[in-house]
Amino acid sequence: MNRIILLSIFTLVAGCATSGYQQFYNPYVDISALPEPEIIHEGQEPKVYGTDNFDRDIRTLRAKKYVAIGYSSFNGGYEDTKNAQAQAKRIGATIVLVNSKYTNTQTTTSPLFLPDNKTTYHSGSASAYSTYNNSYGGYGNMNTNATYSGTSTTYGTKAVPITTHQRRYDQSAVYLVKINLKMKFGVYLQDLTAEMRLQYERNTGAFVDLVFEESAAFYSNILPGDVIISVDGNSVKNTKHALELMAKVPSSATISKLGIIRKGKETIIEVKF
């Protein structure tokens, strides 16, 4: 009986627990604010991929026009990655990267109060002495004996110590959605860091951090790590200036010449649109 009660309690607790992927979700951006996001369709399930390096794999997906819209991070008992998939579907993500790492085993002892009913059995005897008046036809003195028995039940509870052992894991997930933003060049730029300025022996230019796949820059063989120093003959000061010069390239243009530094050498690459 006690075993059945314990199983019922554990089942109830497990059934009511909220997924850590949902409870500890933190958004980066509202999906509705993204340009032309690909939305999960009815009957479609988000894809789940395990990773041992979030930075590397997110960078790979960024090149495919995926944007991270949020993440989950928590420590607890291991959760099935289907919970991460369910959270991805809940927020509209099409891909979720997951990782889990064992941290420790937690031992917990707590009291469980169970019904404790006690029944007491008791019995005894009784006697009575009676005198009858002879003037009314009595026969004199008489002894009367009787016995009795019965039970009584006391209702209460008792505490049973319950010890559990739980293997705990650091669990993380990053949720991504693809955008169909049209890009004229298809590069993601950054300003030169202090280390880069020493390396390239210059203060001006824009570092190519990422090249989006299937873009004009991608098919023209612009590579991550290149430093753009000019756009159609105009010297580039920094990232903001480079983007301004690129935006001025006419929509009717079929090519744009980018001056770049690659492996310490300056060269011109024609980006074809």
What tens-digit pLDDT sequence spans the chain (273 residues)?
444 444 444 444 444 468 999 999 999 999 999 999 998 888 899 999 999 999 999 999 999 999 999 999 999 999 999 999 999 999 999 999 999 999 999 998 888 888 877 766 666 665 555 554 555 455 455 566 666 667 777 777 888 888 888 999 999 999 999 999 889 999 999 999 999 999 999 999 999 999 999 999 999 999 999 999 999 999 999 999 999 999 999 999 999 999 999 999 999 999 999
CA distance 233 to 227: 15
Same domain, 59 and 169: yes
Question: Do both 191 and 257 map to the same domain?
Answer: yes
Residue 4 in any domain: the answer is: no
Q: What does the alpha-carbon distance between residue 207 and residue 15 come to, in Å, rounded to a whole number?
A: 51
- DSSP strand pairing (47-50 vs 95-115): parallel
pLDDT of 10 reads: 41
Count of domains observed in the chain:
3
Instruction: Answer whether residue 193 is part of any domain.
Output: yes
In a domain, 151, yes or no: yes
Q: In this structure, are 172 and 222 located in the same domain?
A: no
Q: Verify that 169 and 244 share a domain, yes or no.
A: no
| CA separation for the pair 93, 89 (Å, rounded) | 6
Note whether 174 and 85 are same-domain residues. yes
As a whole number of angstroms, the distance between CA 19 and CA 42 comes to: 22
pLDDT of residue 238: 98
Co-location of 49 and 136 in the same domain:
no
Same-domain check for residues 150 and 172: no
Strands (E), the chain: 25-27, 47-50, 66-77, 95-115, 118-131, 141-154, 157-178, 187-191, 206-211, 227-231, 234-235, 255-262, 265-272
Domain with 96, as residue range(s), is 19-103+165-178
pLDDT reported for residue 79: 98
Find, among 79, 80, 75, the residue nearest to 103 by Cα: 75
Residues 97 and 170 in one domain: yes
**Do 83 and 138 sit in the same domain of this protein?**
no
Residue 192 CB neighbour total at 10 angstroms: 19
Same domain, 97 and 173: yes
